[in-house]
Amino acid sequence: MAVSAALSTGDLLKCPGLRPGERDRLRRLERKPARQRVRGRKTSNRLRRTYAATAELKAREADIRKDRAEQVSTSLARRFNVIRIEDLSIRGMTRPARGTIAGPGRNVRQKAGLNRGVLAASWGQLARRLEHKAGDHVQKVRAAYTSMTCNARGHCEPGNRESQAAFLCLRCGHRSHADVNAARNIAAGHAVTARGGGAPARPASREPLVAA
């Protein structure tokens, strides 16, 4: 996933991870166990070493993402009076698509890839740290229709979102990054807060942001 969060300021945040060489090594390590299992023995010494090396790389990746979430949440909490974030159900978004024997899932491989991308973006971790550091200054907002609503004129149409990254209003021609457009809708109060009631029509004294 190229962008892990978009702000109403236009900034696009990327969640760091392992270096390319480390990612390649991790993929090789994850394929090794199939060739290292020995008949009659649950785990060979080589297999133990492979598991240990894999765990070490995954732990490093988790630490990198945790540090990034800490840095970003601290920066945002200090910079803005109001922080509005999408009320996303990470558990629901990453539910497996395998289904059952009677009702098999569809696009299982694609859904598995999407799930990995969602989890790698660490949305939930960033939101939790923001709520911890900014408290009541954080407002969760329903994300419905924000990605297909024009931030400039308010026209809502599914066709406005050309692709995952591109937004083009079919009525007024306004063009923007799709996630930034959605972030500005939420920041401006063009959605209903998850806590109930209407969101304020105007931003706070300093520009609010959305981690979308």
pLDDT tens for the chain, residues 1 to 212: 456 788 999 998 887 888 999 999 999 999 998 887 665 566 778 888 999 999 999 999 999 989 999 999 999 999 988 899 888 766 666 666 665 545 555 666 665 655 566 566 677 888 889 999 999 999 988 878 888 999 999 999 999 998 888 999 999 999 999 999 999 998 886 543 333 334 433 333 333 345 43
Q: Do residues 153 and 169 make contact, with C-beta atoms less than 8 angstroms apart?
A: yes
In the beta sheet, which residues pair with residue 209? 83
132-166 core/surface letters (b: 16 or more CB in 10 A; e: else): ebbeebbbbbebeebbbbbbeeeebeeebbeeeee
Q: Do residues 80 and 206 make contact, with C-beta atoms less than 8 angstroms apart?
A: yes
Q: What is the span of the domain harbouring residue 23?
A: 5-211
Q: Give the single-character DSSP code of 3.
A: -
Domain count, the chain: 1
Reported pTM: 0.72
Q: Give the single-character DSSP code of 205.
A: S
Q: Give the single-character DSSP code of 101.
A: S
Alpha-carbon distance values, 194 to 38, 116, 135 (Å): 53, 26, 15
